[in-house]
Amino acid sequence: MKINPFVIITLATTHLLIAAVAYRMAVTRGWDDTIVLPDQPTTHFDKVLDGDTVVIDGVAIHIRGLDAPELGPWAKCWAEAMAARQSMKVLENELRGHDYRMVERRVDKDGKVSARFVAEAKYDISDPMKVYEAGAAVDGRWDWCGTTVKLTPGTDQPTRAPNLWWPSGDVYDPRAAD
For residue 103, what are the domain limits?
A: 33-176
Domain assignment of residue 103, yes or no? yes
User: Quick one: CA dihedral 152, 155, 160, 161, positive or negative?
Assistant: negative
Domain assignment of residue 137, yes or no? yes
pLDDT recorded at residue 119 = 86
Residue 153 has pLDDT above 70, yes or no: no
Q: Which residue has the higher pLDDT, 66 or 170?
A: 66
Q: Which residues, 6+ apart, have CB-to-CB distance to 107 below 8 Å?
A: 27, 34, 35, 37, 113
Domain assignment of residue 2, yes or no? no
Q: Which residues, 6+ apart, have CB-to-CB distance to 115 below 8 Å?
A: 61, 62, 63, 64, 102, 103, 104, 105, 106
Q: With helix as H, strand as E and coil as C, how does 17-77 read? A: HHHHHHHHHHHHCCCCCEEEECCEEECCCCEEEECCEEEECCEEEEECCCECCCCHHHCCC
CATH of the domain at 65: 2.40.50.90
Domain assignment of residue 6, yes or no? no
d(CA 11, CA 177) in angstroms, rounded, equals 43
Lowest mean pLDDT among 79-88, 111-120, 152-161: 152-161
**CB contact at 8 A, 86 and 125:** no
d(CA 9, CA 5) in angstroms, rounded, equals 6
Local structure of residue 140 (DSSP, 8 states)? S
To the nearest whole percent, how much of the chain has pLDDT over 90? 12
Average pLDDT, the chain: 76
Domain assignment of residue 20, yes or no? no
Per the structure, the count of domains in the chain is 1
Domain assignment of residue 65, yes or no? yes
d(CA 100, CA 121) in angstroms, rounded, equals 9
Domain assignment of residue 13, yes or no? no
Domain assignment of residue 89, yes or no? yes
